[in-house]
Chains A and B, each alone.
Chain A
């Protein structure tokens, strides 16, 4: 794998960075979107969550920061069991989890800078956020972040004036402004053209590595998943059917996740793309 890289060894004996235990979600109306999913993340790595549309990928990552309330199961972020937290504690835990969305979810009428700094809302009070009085360090970090995601100089542009790729870069910056212990990324490239999609995936991968932050990335594009992830989790009808290094994604595995299909071309294409990139 072109992007395979050295990892810090798992800290011996300590809690894993993230542990998901028997997570289940039944939506009102009966759809069981998540069915006893368990896995652990012991080191900072990029994990692709793959599966057909409706397999429960979004539900999984939204249960982790409780944008969706899980029906049962537990989620440990370090020592903290997120599922059992009261609202105030949940807010504090969410500050440690950055989230990146398919539709970018920027506040359109605010500037790029305001969107980036909204990642720091947890550290300022109501009136400070009203007057946009963020600590000087946060402001300096935001300017640095702007440069890092390739948008230097655009701080005063309104978010709705940017292109799709630029908007997603702001979304990434906002999540990273939180200095998160975990990144949750829901289909980050599904609203982008293929070329921009690869750039965005590369940026997310690079930033996760730089900051040694584990990232859980929902993605339906198998080639992209293989290209950019260290590890792959496969969901099918809410159940975890595969968990292994991305190199272990064989046609048999893909068939178990997606159903019968000719996978050779998909897999080979991914390899060629990486060789060319």
Chain B
């Protein structure tokens, strides 16, 4: 490098242009302000925290040792939890396919049907599984049916959103080829598009099933079936040694389902 070139270089080096710097600081200020507002508005009683570790240790002490004699009681609810997740996911798959075609720009009939599809998607996805559970318990009464309906209601939007994205990204070529054979619109979707989005559909379904096992573990809190009911009851009876057994069971089931899901997804890709 020549000395002449070195002199032409600026002496002060900044990573960002002045405008970028200002925007950056505005963001940081906004984050700081919102955080301060949130923390102060929540009226946190910091005194509570002083003996929190003592209380937590106390609770942990009361949980030990786990009451293994409770284990046989929760086997049936555990199986029910998995059934709720599986059946709910299966129902969601069936409904998610038409919903996906309705909410993908390139397959929906018109602007109105697209808006309807997107509306269902947003409603399904924005309401948590447990809150869906609350609603379906009001409809079907307490029990696993409400749980299955809740899992299905939440999952349908999850699956349909990802499948709709896959439909929008599907290769135009085969679709045009099927169109040019004079196939009906339904056949174009069935033969030209569905095979293209199948890997996404299967992958997200398996992935969602594993999330749903975890979600189903708490549906019992609102009366929608599964192991959650027993957890809730044990906590309310201060039966902490039972609580630990239930927690360990949930841990085992959730980790196992995660492993199964990862294994299947690994095999299809």
Instruction: Determine whether A and B are in direct contact in the complex, meaning some CB atoms lie less than 8 angstroms apart.
Output: yes
Q: Which residues of B contact A107 (CB under 8 A)?
A: 174, 177-178, 191-192, 195-196
Task: Convert B182-202 into 0s and 1s, putting 1 for each residue whose CB lies closer than 8 angstroms to a CB of A.
Answer: 111011001110011011000
Of all chain B residues, the one with the shortest Cβ separation from A118 is B191
Give A192 Cβ to nearest chain B Cβ, in Å.
16
Q: How far is the CA of A122 from the CA of B176 in the complex (A)?
A: 14
Binds B, one of A8-16, A27-35, A91-99: A91-99
Is A211's CB within 8 Å of the partner chain B?
A: no
Is B266's CB within 8 Å of the partner chain A?
A: no
Interface size on B, residues (CB 8 A): 20
Q: Which residues of A contact B178 (CB under 8 A)?
A: 107, 118, 121
Q: How far is the CA of A144 from the CA of B192 in the complex (A)?
A: 24
Contact A121 B173 (CB under 8 A): no
Give A92 Cβ to nearest chain B Cβ, in Å.
6
Of all chain B residues, the one with the shortest Cβ separation from A90 is B182
Give A229 Cβ to nearest chain B Cβ, in Å.
22
Interface size on A, residues (CB 8 A): 33
Is B69's CB within 8 Å of the partner chain A?
A: no
Among residues 95 to 133 in chain A, which have CB atoms less than 8 Å away from a CB atom of chain B? 95-99, 101, 103-110, 114, 118-122, 126, 129-130
Contact B187 A99 (CB under 8 A): no
Is B181's CB within 8 Å of the partner chain A?
A: yes
Contacting residue for B180 out of A67, A108, A110, A126, CB 8 A: A67
Contact A91 B195 (CB under 8 A): no
Contact B174 A122 (CB under 8 A): no
Q: Which residues of A contact B184 (CB under 8 A)?
A: 91, 121, 126
Known: A67-B176, A107-B174, A109-B196. A91 touches B182 (CB 8 A): yes
Task: Convert A191-213 into 0s and 1s, putting 1 for each residue whose CB lies closer than 8 angstroms to a CB of B.
Answer: 00000000000000000000000
Contacting residue for B179 out of A94, A106, A110, A184, CB 8 A: A94
Q: How far is the CA of A95 from the CA of B181 in the complex (A)?
A: 5
Q: Which residues of A contact B176 (CB under 8 A)?
A: 67, 101, 105
Is A178's CB within 8 Å of the partner chain B?
A: yes
Q: How far is the CA of A241 from the CA of B256 in the complex (A)?
A: 70
Q: Which residues of B contact A98 (CB under 8 A)?
A: 181
- Interface residues of chain A, those whose CB is within 8 Å of chain B, are 65, 67, 91-99, 101, 103-110, 114, 118-122, 126, 129-130, 171, 174, 178, 184
- Interface residues of chain B, those whose CB is within 8 Å of chain A, are 173-174, 176-184, 186-187, 190-192, 195-196, 198-199
17 A-B pairs in the complex with CB atoms less than 8 angstroms apart: A67-B176, A92-B182, A94-B179, A94-B181, A94-B182, A98-B181, A99-B181, A101-B177, A105-B174, A106-B174, A107-B191, A107-B195, A107-B196, A108-B195, A109-B199, A129-B183, A129-B191
